[in-house]
Amino acid sequence: MPGPLALVGGAEWREGCTFDRALLAESGADEVLVLPTAAAYEHPDRAVDTASEWFAGLGAKVRGLMVLARPDAEDQANVAAIRDARFIYLAGGSPLHLRSVLKDSAAWDALCQAWRGGAVLAGSSAGAMALCDPMVDPRGGAFTLGLGLLAQVAVIPHHDTWSAEKAKRTITLAAKGVPIVAIDERTALIRAADGTWSVDGVGSVVVFVDGHEAGLDALPA
């Protein structure tokens, strides 16, 4: 059975991200594997440092796995670390770079295997966007190909600070029946192991289907 899945709206590892404590407990581990892949060109070491400081306050340590380019995603040591992890966290940054590094890679196969084996998986901002297919293209709000762990769902992160014009474009361009999930910063949309959805954190989550607001029950189980 797949483990819990958390789609975070951004501003991860900060005060207000109350969901991380529960996710850590569900993982049954005292270590979080952080992939700063999306932040490869934005000081990925800083993302790991931020995560380390945050999770230290929750009684856990962080292992930063520098899967920053395509060869890193085929490295067998990295693949083994992902496969064995009980809590995997994809940091924010560029969803396009994250997709290009992980898509159809050994690291991606290992991540899917770990999650389907019960590991907790979280993705923030770019991480949340790329886990879905279709994926929102941050350059203009249209759609592009995502990694597809969640099919027929798309995420708008940073909804409380995102461009209203781009958000409207995304919601308008969505294919019929495809839920568009707008998630505020420091807020998580969480899919439990039993397929039910909930919201945790300081902000809110709004689901749009065919241009209209819908409830969490519009999301796939």
Q: CA-CA distance, 46 to 50, in Å (whole number)?
A: 6
Task: Output the pLDDT for position 79.
Answer: 98
**Confidence tier at 221 by pLDDT (50, 70, 90):** confident
- The stretch 125-144 carries a mean pLDDT of 95
- The stretch 66-88 carries a mean pLDDT of 98
**Confidence tier at 80 by pLDDT (50, 70, 90):** very high
User: pTM of the full predicted structure?
Assistant: 0.97
Judged against a pLDDT cut of 90, whether residue 98 lies above it is answered with yes
Residue 178 contacts residue 153 (beta carbons within 8 Å):
yes
- Summarize pLDDT for 31-57 with one digit per residue, the tens: 999 999 999 999 999 999 999 999 999
Judged against a pLDDT cut of 90, whether residue 104 lies above it is answered with yes
> Please, what is the average pLDDT of the chain?
97
Task: Output the pLDDT for position 140.
Answer: 87
Place domain 5-218 in its CATH homologous superfamily.
Class I glutamine amidotransferase (GATase) domain (3.40.50.880)
Q: CA-CA distance, 189 to 182, in Å (whole number)?
A: 10
3-state secondary structure of 12: coil
Task: Output the pLDDT for position 172.
Answer: 94
Which residue bears the tokens 């991200």? 17
Task: Output the pLDDT for position 162.
Answer: 87
- Summarize pLDDT for 137-195 with one digit per residue, the tens: 998 889 999 999 999 999 999 999 988 888 999 999 999 999 999 999 999 999 999 99
Q: Which amino acid is at 93?
A: G
